Amino acid sequence: MAGQMCWLPGMGTGGSKILHLRTAFHENWRPYTAFPQFSVPDYREPGGSKGWATYQKLIAAGWMLVPTADAQQVRFVNPDAEVA
């Protein structure tokens, strides 16, 4: 099953971006570490990007990368809207 990935600031990272995932469009973004079924251990590279190894695995598996600006936009959902 393919999902979506995005680089977003992580809590406690001083603003550094880490990989975030979601398996469906309506879900909230969560850090890659919240998905043990998809994540792999980070490389032991000082100062390396958190989630880079997971990104490489998932992009090869067909996951989509969402631009940070798109992921940070607030989505408004109308609960009264009819679904086509």
Q: What amino acid is encoded at 14 in this protein?
A: G
User: How far from the centroid of its chain's Cα atoms is residue 62's Cα?
Assistant: 14
Say what the pTM is.
0.80
Please check the confidence at residue 77 and state whether its pLDDT lies above 60.
Answer: no
Residues 12-66: tens digit of each pLDDT:
767 789 999 999 988 999 999 999 999 999 999 888 889 999 999 999 999 999 9
How far is residue 15's CA from residue 20's CA, in Å, rounded to a whole number?
14
What is the predicted pLDDT for the residue at 64?
96
- Give residue 6's pLDDT band: very low, low, confident or very high (50, 70, 90): very high
> What is the amino acid identity at position 42?
D
User: What pLDDT shows up at residue 19?
Assistant: 96
The angle formed by the CA atoms of residues 56, 60 and 72, to the nearest 5 degrees, is 65
